[in-house]
Amino acid sequence: MDDLPFQKITITGATLASIIQRFSSSSSDVDGLLFGHVSQPTPSNLLDDDDDSLSSSNSPSLVATITNYYCSGTISTFYDSLGRLNESAIRRFTGSNSNSNSQQQLLGWFVGRRRTRLRPSMRELAVSSSFSNPKALISLNNIGDSKPNMNLKFAPCVFVIFTTPLTDQLIHTHEHRAYQYRRSSLRFEPRSMDVVNIGPAFRVHYGAFAPNAQFPLLPRVAAGDMEVGEDSKSRDCLSSLRRVSKEQRGLDMCAEGFDVGKLKQLMGLEAARYTMGLEELYTKMLVKLEGLASLVEKSSAKVLEQEQRNIKLRNKVAGLE
């Protein structure tokens, strides 16, 4: 049973949101089990040279993907105060997990604590150490199998902490940090946790997207074809369209050529080339907003100064001075 390091830990956005919602809606701290799979992605830095010394790394690159979880809504549900596992409880929890299948295995566990540091405790270290026990590894990873698999390579070594800020905040936030427990060193090692369906890295999945329906063109009606009763309504509609068109031209002028028709170029494989131009546009817009804010600040100061003058004049007229 190898103790290989993970390059990173990934989790689907739906699973992460579900864990946070389960934690935030609970009346106390929670813990639970994490399920998924371990894979070895294809390296992108391939070299033509046969010299191994020129390669970036000779060790395999492994990624742990979390796709499902179980949470009972309370704490210490499958272990005791000393960190010893309750295998019958884990089997019961895993059996009640309807989304688990043969492609998933037990990757580890998580804990949700309110207003605490993002650091593992001694008890959590003991629980992860119990998970890495060879006997527990064979027993837990063969839940539901008729024949035990004795060639298991990965222990349930993933551990994720969820917590809330130490102080009260106006915006309710949650923080999390992922670790891998290494049996060779008997300690936690932090790992980056990526959300696989949020961010620029997920745009390639929509590279072949094309809309099936387009907005219909507005028909142009001649003035002679209008009925007498619809004349005023049609004029109002045409004036509205002209006003919208004028506003759209103004927006296109501010956007410096980035009209709505070019938004489709921000999707697909050529998105990176247009992203830089959009970022430059955003920077220019920020500069313009900063100038407008400065003008507003100066005008507000002048309004306040004029208001103070008006108060003095009122007092002088009323004979208060």
Residue 71 in this model has a pLDDT that exceeds 80:
yes
Give 134 or 62, the one with higher predicted confidence. 62
Rounded CA-CA distance 216/218 in Å is: 6
Query: SS in 3 state form for 299-321?
Result: HHHHHHHHHHHHHHHHHHHHCCC
Give the integer Cα–Cα distance in Å for 113 and 177: 12
pLDDT (mean) for 224-237: 55
Average pLDDT, the chain: 75
DSSP 64-93: EEEEEEEE-SSSSSSB-TT--B-HHHHHHH
The Cα–Cα gap between 179 and 120 comes to: 9
Of residues 263 and 195, the one with the higher pLDDT is 195
Do the bridges between strand 158-163 and strand 175-182 make them parallel or antiparallel, or are there none, so unpaired? antiparallel
Residue 54 has pLDDT above 50, yes or no: no
**Average pLDDT in the 255-281 region?**
66
Tell me: pLDDT of 224 over 70. no
The predicted pLDDT at position 319 comes to: 79
Find the farthest-apart pair of alpha carbons in the chain and give their distance in angstroms, rounded.
102
Residue identified by tokens 């027993």 is: 139
Quote the pLDDT of residue 203: 54
107: pLDDT strictly greater than 80: yes
**Measured distance CA(267)–CA(210) in Å, rounded:** 10
CATH architecture, domain 6-43+53-198: 3-Layer(aba) Sandwich (3.40)
Distance of CA 20 to the CA centre of its chain: 12
- Among the listed residues 5, 31, 10, 6, the one whose alpha carbon sits nearest the alpha carbon of residue 19: 31
The pair of structure tokens assigned to 72 is 């009972």
Map out the domains of the chain as residue ranges: 6-43+53-198, 270-321
pLDDT tops 70 at residue 314: yes
Distance from C-alpha of 129 to C-alpha of 155, rounded to nearest angstrom: 10
Higher pLDDT, 220 or 160: 160
pLDDT digits over 138-189, tens only? Answer: 566 555 444 434 334 567 899 999 998 887 776 767 889 999 999 888 899 9
The stretch 37-51 carries a mean pLDDT of: 63
Q: Cα 289 vs. chain centroid, distance in angstroms?
A: 28
Bigger pLDDT: 130 or 261? 130
Neighbouring residues of 21: CB distance < 8 A, sequence distance ≥ 6: none
pLDDT of the residue at 147: 42
The confidence score (pLDDT) of residue 106 equals 87
Task: Check: CB of residue 63 under 8 Å from CB of residue 39.
Answer: yes
Each residue's pLDDT tens digit, 196-213: 875 555 555 555 555 555
**pTM score:** 0.55
pLDDT at 191 over 90: yes
Nearest Cα to Cα of residue 180 among 169, 195, 171, 191:
191
* pLDDT at 22 (0 to 100): 92
CA-to-CA dists, residue 129 to 83, 101, 126, angstroms: 8, 25, 5
